[in-house]
Chains A and B, each alone.
Chain A
Amino acid sequence: MRLPISEEFQKLRDKVRQLVREDLDPIYLEVETAAVIPESIVDKMRHLGLFGMPIPKEYGGLGLTTVEEILIYEEITQTNACYRSRIGTSNGIGSMGIVYDGTETQKGKYLPRIASGQWTTAFALTEPNAGSDASNISLMAALEGDHWVLNGNKIFITNADAAQLFTTIALTDEKKRARGGITAFIVEKGMPGFSLGPADIKMGLKGSHTHELVFKDCHVPKENVIGGMEMVGQGFKTAMRVLDKGRLSMAACALGAAQRVMELCIDFVKNKLEAGKPKSDLQEAQFRLADMATQIFAARQMLYLTAWLKDQKENVTREASMVKLFCTEMASRVADSAMDIFEEDGCLTDNRIEMFLRDVRLYRIYEGTSEIQKVIICRELLR
């Protein structure tokens, strides 16, 4: 499928490719071992407008279409996955709630500084007892005069340490829950009663930090309900819509990683000698690469098509789930196969593959596990 791309966008895409090649990729290992992205690099991403990719132009964003966004993600994930996480969590799940359902005042107040990257955002939904069962949250929000008072906690929140703004999904009516009992709030860093727990130690995505959020009588102004007081109880819809949108982005991340892994394998087999001959002469390696290339090709078509359909305003709930499911599982298979090509050398972080292996593993879990995607797909099928 050939996607229609404007010349202007192609320029941006080229700049991102250059950024990856010249700035992001060369320090992938330091970012991994130090578990930190240098602020100068974050600045470069700000400079390209990457923090405001889907945010409408009138609020200072790039106003990219879905197609354009996934193409950028496909590029920026061909290196350490943390760079994408730093921007994508912020301009994606962390802020889309405001873009979709925020009041004009909220949009005007927050979106420009989010788009410029001056502020980073995070999405606070997950709790110890609310993983896949997202509506099973316990963070309570009670209205007391001019403030909502929040009590409870969230876990595994990406960007928590860098964020100034947290789209926080809380319970406002314990009985109603997903049917009118959940509300989306804008919680700002520094609000009384809000603090972070220690960082999680994760399998991968080391340069992207996740923390627990602790709300102890956290006072949030009345105005901070996303969409205003009439949106109280409508937060679950907001949350699901935000996650829906994230699916295609996640798929693009998986695709970018798989693409790079395959290219690393091709390079490797051309140069690696076995019994005096390049490994690329061996049939086992050849067929493995053929499998990789085929899966990547299939993944790309379904992603591009679905992104394009979404931009045509079609309902792509089921397709987006299929795309997330397929692309993320595919990336894991490709990375695993690559490890077999690299053999024991694959274990060394110096050779890149093992980091991709660890990073893409999370994609099958967060923003909706593969199992949840299957539930969504089937629900639509059996309707």
Chain B
Amino acid sequence: MIFQIDKSQKQIQKAVQDFVKGEFKKETIGQLLEKNVFPEDIWKKASKLGFIGIHYPEKYSGQGFGTIENVLVVEELCRGDSSVGTCLSKSGQGAEFILRYGNETQKKTWLPKLAEGEVLSSAAITEPGLGNDFFLSETTAVKDGDDWVIDGGKTFVVNGGSLCGFYVVLCKTTSDVPGNDQKFSTILVEADREGIDVFDVGHRLGGRLMFISKVNFNRVRVPIVNLIGQEGLGLVQVAAYLSENRIVAAAQCLGIAQGAFDRSFAYVKKREQFGRKIVDFQVTRQKLATMATQIASARLLLYQAAWHLDQNGASEKLTAMAKLQASRTAVAVCDEAIQLLGGYGYIQEYEVERFYRDAKVADLLDGTEITQRNIIANELMRGKI
């Protein structure tokens, strides 16, 4: 067992830290927050440095690294800023469908565009009112000549909007099979196809710089070749995608937690009340110790899940545990960070309240804690102790 990242991984970490230091300026971020817009500039700069799609093969403009390296990048970006970081680390949302199941044309066409900061991608899976019950999805894709005709509405589509290059849409492609297992497929829908309506989901708790949308596909036509992988394997692909995505989501949560910790730790070392630094109160130190321990244990679990994916493929149990712990840690640490800053903790300028809101959204958006526990319990019942 080796419990530390290697030299090249440390270099990647440092490279992202330097990038954050140079680009995540308070004033810039303040302006983004005022206008509630996607950090396009910073995203493009990040892609030029190879941080976006670091785990894509080099022939598709990636850096050929693995999940661990991607996790390290995501962590540092979100640590740098919870809102900008999550935007950047989610910029290739759904790309894993292409990466794992796409054909050569699909990979060649789209992965470079993602890695080079030309477009964002979206996974259009959830439908209004359905939550995790994907097998109840009603979006259909019917064969008509050389095309699929796609009809239905998806929600909580991250990146759905003006910068989106394509949507990976979960569709019901056949009804005449007994079980749900083979009814669904995923289809690549270019964002500039006719009949796509995008609406912002509305005012929300956090993740306000991200595009999060309701997307309606009104009899949208795409070529039959836009099918991703094998017809009928949609739900299998979605399960695998969610498992991999969980790790990235966990890395976001962990980065946010670390960022909130950094900021509150710095604050309590400077702030004086009652004739001493806040950090010199025993309770403050107890809190910091708890926060640091929570972060450390969540990190170990996350790295183990990421390593396992690179070595043996995703472990449902580990990815769910990693996401569960990372989410809980992020929310708890950010909440405590607000408290450590006192009144300033409630003020937007001091950042920690935004880290908290972004943490809570990250907690809920990529599979809630209840969902993660359900998954873990299922795995336990399957003998994966």
Comparing A38-46, A89-97, A142-150, A340-348, the segment that makes contact with chain B is: A340-348
Q: Which residues of the partner chain B approach A348 to less than 8 Å between Cβ atoms?
A: 201-205
Instruction: Specify which of A132, A200, A273, A340 is in contact with B342 (CB 8 Å cutoff).
Output: A132
Instruction: Bits for B59-87, please: 1 = Cβ < 8 Å to A, else 0.
Output: 00000000000000000000000000000
- In the complex, whether A354 has a CB less than 8 A from a CB of chain B is yes
Size class of the contact patch on chain A: 35 or more
In the complex, what's the smallest C-beta–C-beta distance from A157 to chain B, in angstroms? 11
With known contacts A274-B131, A347-B365, A371-B283, A362–B273 Cβ distance under 8 A:
no
B204–A201 CB distance below 8 A: no
- The answer to whether the Cβ of B353 comes within 8 Å of any Cβ in the partner chain is yes
Give B166-201 as 1s and 0s: 1 = Cβ < 8 Å from A's Cβ atoms.
000000000000000000000000000000000001
Measured in the bound complex, the distance between the Cα atoms of B346 and A279 in whole Å is 34
Interface segment among B47-55, B94-102, B221-229, B356-364: the answer is B356-364
- Give the residue of B202, B368, B369 whose beta carbon is less than 8 angstroms from that of A350: B202
* Residues A275 and B349 in contact, CB atoms below 8 Å apart: no
Q: Judge if B274 is at the interface, Cβ distance under 8 Å.
A: yes
Partner of A201, one of B205, B273, B339, B347: B347
Q: Which of B93-140 contact A (CB under 8 A)?
A: 126, 129, 131-133, 136
Contact B274 A132 (CB under 8 A): yes
Q: With an 8 A cutoff between CB atoms, is A156 at the interface?
A: yes
Residue of A nearest to B360 (CB): A339
Interchain CA distance A87-B229 in the complex, whole Å: 61
Is A336 in contact with chain B by the CB < 8 A criterion?
yes
Q: A200 with B347: in contact, given A133-B273, A354-B205, A369-B339 (CB under 8 Å)?
A: yes
Task: Give Cα distance in the complex from A155 to B156, angstroms.
Answer: 39
Nearest CB of chain A from residue B273's CB, rounded to whole Å: 4
Q: Is the CB of B343 within 8 A of A201?
A: no
**A33 beta carbon closer than 8 Å to chain B:** yes
Taking A203-B348, A347-B361 as contacts, is the C-beta distance between A340 and B203 under 8 angstroms? Answer: no
Known A336-B331, A347-B206, A349-B204: A203·B346 in contact at CB below 8 Å: yes
Q: Is B39 an interface residue (CB 8 A)?
A: no
A186-219 contacts to B, CB under 8 A, are: 200-204
The residue on B at minimum CB distance from A342 is: B364
- Check: A163 CB closer than 8 A to any chain B CB: no
A32 to B338, CA, bound (A): 21
Instruction: Annotate A113-145 by CB proximity to B: 1 below 8 A, 0 otherwise.
Output: 000000000000010010111001000000000
CB-defined contacts of A340 to chain B, threshold 8 Å: 364, 368-370
Q: Which of A33-61 contact B (CB under 8 A)?
A: 33
The reply on B272 being an interface residue by CB < 8 A is: yes
Chain A min CB distance to B349 (Å): 7
Do B361 and A273 touch (CB < 8 A)?
Answer: no
Within 8 A of A (CB), among B150-170: 156
Contact in complex: B349, A347 (CB < 8 Å): no
Contacts of A357 in B (CB 8 A): 205, 360
A156, A344, A350, A362: the one contacting B365 at CB < 8 Å is A344
Residue of B nearest to A273 (CB): B129
CB nearest to A357 among chain B residues:
B205
Complex Cα–Cα for A136 and B272 (A) = 10
CA distance A275 to B132 in the complex (A): 9
Given the known interface contacts A136-B273, A349-B204, the answer about A201 and B361 at a Cβ–Cβ threshold of 8 Å is: no
Are A202's CB and B346's CB within 8 A?
yes
Task: Say yes or no: is A284 at the interface (Cβ < 8 Å to chain B).
Answer: yes
Does the CB pair A201–B349 fall under 8 Å? yes
User: Which chain A residues border B131 with CB–CB below 8 Å?
Assistant: 274, 343-344
Output the least CB separation between B162 and chain A (Å).
21
Whether A156 and B343, one on each chain, are in contact in the complex, defined by CB atoms closer than 8 angstroms, is: yes
Q: Chain A nearest CB: distance from B199 CB in Å?
A: 12
Q: Report A-chain residues with C-beta under 8 Å of the C-beta of B259.
A: none
Contacts of A349 in B (CB 8 A): 202-205
Q: How far is the CA of A343 from the CA of B129 in the complex (A)?
A: 11
Most A CB contacts (10 A, CB to CB) among B205, B272, B331 go to B205
Is A370 close to B, CB under 8 A?
Answer: yes
Point out the residues of chain A lying under 8 angstroms from B345, CB to CB: 365
- The answer, among B133, B202, B205, B274, for a CB contact under 8 Å with A133, is B274
- Indicate which residue in A136, A350, A365 contacts B346 across the interface (CB closer than 8 Å): A365
Could you tell me the distance between the alpha carbons of A350 and B331 in the complex, rounded to whole angstroms?
A: 22
Question: For the complex, is A366 an interface residue (Cβ under 8 Å from B)?
Answer: yes
A374–B156 Cα distance when bound, in Å, is 42
A280 shortest CB reach to chain B, Å: 14
A32 to B48, CA, bound (A): 39
B272 neighbours in A (Cβ, 8 Å):
129
Within 8 A of B (CB), among A254-290: 272-276, 284
Contacts A133-B274, A274-B133, A358-B205 given: A346-B346 contact, CB under 8 Å? no
- Shortest Cβ distance from A355 into B: residue: B205
Q: Compute how far the CA of A178 lies from the CA of B343 in the bound complex, rounded to whole angstroms.
A: 22
Is A364 close to B, CB under 8 A?
yes
Q: Mark B351-383, 1 if CB is under 8 A from A, else 0.
A: 001001100110011001111000000000000
Whether the pair B364, A346 counts as a contact (CB closer than 8 A) is yes
| Nearest neighbor of A204 in chain B, beta-carbon distance | B346
Whether A131 touches B342, Cβ cut-off 8 Å, given contacts A33-B203, A136-B273, A201-B347, is: yes
Q: Which among B274, B343, B369 has the highest number of chain A CB atoms within 10 Å? A: B343
For A141-180 the 0/1 string (1 means CB < 8 A from B) is 0000000000000011000000000000000000000000
B255: Cβ under 8 A from any A Cβ: no
Query: Any chain B CB within 8 A of the CB of A361?
Result: yes
Are B343 and A131 in contact (CB-based, < 8 A)?
Answer: yes
**A201: which B residues are within 8 A, CB to CB?**
347-349
A343: chain B residues within 8 A (beta carbon): 131, 364, 368, 370-371
Residue of A nearest to B364 (CB): A344
A202 near B348: Cβ-Cβ < 8 Å: yes
Question: Complex: how many Å from CA A348 to CA B364?
Answer: 11
Say how far B6's CB is from chain A's closest CB, in angstroms: 37
Q: Is B207 an interface residue (CB 8 A)?
A: yes
CA distance A136 to B276 in the complex (A): 12
A344 contacts B156, C-beta separation under 8 Å? yes
Q: Which residues of the other chain, A, contact B368 by a CB distance below 8 angstroms?
A: 340, 343-344
Cβ contacts under 8 Å, A344 to chain B: 126, 131, 156, 364-365, 368
What are 21 A-B pairs at a CB distance below 8 A? A32-B203, A126-B343, A131-B273, A132-B273, A136-B274, A156-B343, A200-B349, A203-B348, A275-B133, A284-B370, A332-B335, A340-B364, A340-B368, A340-B369, A346-B205, A347-B205, A347-B207, A347-B365, A348-B202, A349-B202, A369-B339
Rank and list the top 5 A-B pairs by shortest CB-CB distance, nearest first: A133-B273, A354-B205, A203-B353, A349-B203, A201-B348
